């Protein structure tokens, strides 16, 4: 009887998946094997079980589309208006309200236990996975091996893979069935493995932490994470404001911070023209500087052009900057703020 060699099968599959790389002489099988060997050594040193190591190394695949996604991250950019139209739409708002009605007890438990109000928790849930509806495309084992091979952040993704192996080991999970994004995030709130290892919570008391299939575990873990970041439930995230037409655009980088009294003295108001709250609370100012309207002609060719129209911006409060610790994007933090306000 003909007997199959598991290693040869794995080798053939890997070469087949990466044929475009192999044909051009770019794919380095020796490097791929070296990475696998290194994972085995590191996992053994960290007391991960032999069975988990074998399961992880059984058949990792190289996925070219993941490398493409990683290299193209900075090429696709939206204006703030386009980004908000895509992320804070009526469908997502309506779905969030449905989830609030479906999980009132759990949301109250998260607020009481971690200090995260329901509308804030729902905003993160909606943004990260569309309330659990976004389906993960990739086996995380494949994603991490591919990104390690690509080399841009080899140590980081190697650490993520080892953390995932420990999580699967501890919770008796089949590591080859754990799926996530191309970048290695998983579950309702898109945790990477090291974040899950540090902040994961068993929300339903079954002595396991499953943020992919268990909403209670996922929400408790997210609540714990935000709580540890210092979330203040008595403060909002950001406030939409308008600025004078001649406002200094260099102050809108989100890094320049002033008290509300100072911002108010510079002519910042609510969109309806009423005064913003006064006080000594410190806030930054964020705007889509690259897309601020151009100055308008004043109709008189003998004089200078008139100032530009009023500028829409956001006062960014401390919670805004706490969001940026988990996703360093001004647009993302503004979207969380806008969605949370709509879900109050």
- Mean pLDDT value across the chain: 88
**Would you state the pLDDT for residue 23?**
41
Examine residue 343 and state whether it is found in any structural domain, yes or no: no
- Does pLDDT of 76 surpass 80? no
DSSP designation for 249: G
Query: In this structure, are residues 339 and 126 in contact, taking their beta carbons and an 8 Å threshold?
Result: yes
Whether the predicted pLDDT of 93 surpasses 60 = yes
How many domains are contained in the chain? 3
> Tell me: the pLDDT tens digits for 231-255?
999 999 999 999 988 889 899 989 9
| pTM of the model as a whole | 0.86
How far are the Cα atoms of 92, 263, 309, 311 from residue 299, in angstroms, in the given order? 43, 32, 15, 21
**Can you tell me the distance from the alpha carbon of 215 to that of 227, in angstroms, rounded to the nearest whole number?**
18
Report if residue 18 sits inside a domain.
yes
Decide if 97 is inside a domain.
yes
Residues 176, 60, single domain; the answer is: yes
198-212, pLDDT tens digit by residue? 999 999 999 999 999
**Containing domain of residue 83, as a range?**
75-129
Q: Which residue has the higher pLDDT, 19 or 246?
A: 246
**Is residue 16 domain-shared with residue 66, that is, in the same domain?**
yes
């Amino acid at each position: 009887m003909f007997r199959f060699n598991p290693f040869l099968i794995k080798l053939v599959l890997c070469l087949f998946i990466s044929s475009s790389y192999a044909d051009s002489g770019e794919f380095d099988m020796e490097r791929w094997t070296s990475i696998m060997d290194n994972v085995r050594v590191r996992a053994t040193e960290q007391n991960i079980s032999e069975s988990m190591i074998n399961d992880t190394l059984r058949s990792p695949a190289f996925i070219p589309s993941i490398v493409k996604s990683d290299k193209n991250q900075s090429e696709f950019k939206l204006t703030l208006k386009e980004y908000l139209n895509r992320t804070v739409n009526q469908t997502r708002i309506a779905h969030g309200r449905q989830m609030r009605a479906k999980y009132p007890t759990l949301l109250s438990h998260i607020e009481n236990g971690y200090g995260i109000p329901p509308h804030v928790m729902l905003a993160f849930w909606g943004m990260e996975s569309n309330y659990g509806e976004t389906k993960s495309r990739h086996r995380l084992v494949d994603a991490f091996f591919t990104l390690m091979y690509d080399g841009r952040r080899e140590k980081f993704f190697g650490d993520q893979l080892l953390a995932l192996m420990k999580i699967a080991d501890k919770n008796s999970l089949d590591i080859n069935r754990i799926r996530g994004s191309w970048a290695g995030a998983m579950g309702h709130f898109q945790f990477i493995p090291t974040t899950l290892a540090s902040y994961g919570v068993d929300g339903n008391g079954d002595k396991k932490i499953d943020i992919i299939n268990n909403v209670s575990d996922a929400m408790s873990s997210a609540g714990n994470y935000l709580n540890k970041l210092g979330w203040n439930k008595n403060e909002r995230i950001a406030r939409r404001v308008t600025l004078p037409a001649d406002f200094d655009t260099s102050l809108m980088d989100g890094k320049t911070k002033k008290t509300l009294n100072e911002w108010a003295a510079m002519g910042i108001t609510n969109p309806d023209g009423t005064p913003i709250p006064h006080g000594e609370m410190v806030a930054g100012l964020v705007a889509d500087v690259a897309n601020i309207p151009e100055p308008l002609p004043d109709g008189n060719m003998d004089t200078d052009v008139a100032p530009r129209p009023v500028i829409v911006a956001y006062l960014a409060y401390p919670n805004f900057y706490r969001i940026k610790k988990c996703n360093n994007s001004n647009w993302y933090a503004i979207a969380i703020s806008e969605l949370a306000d709509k879900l109050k």
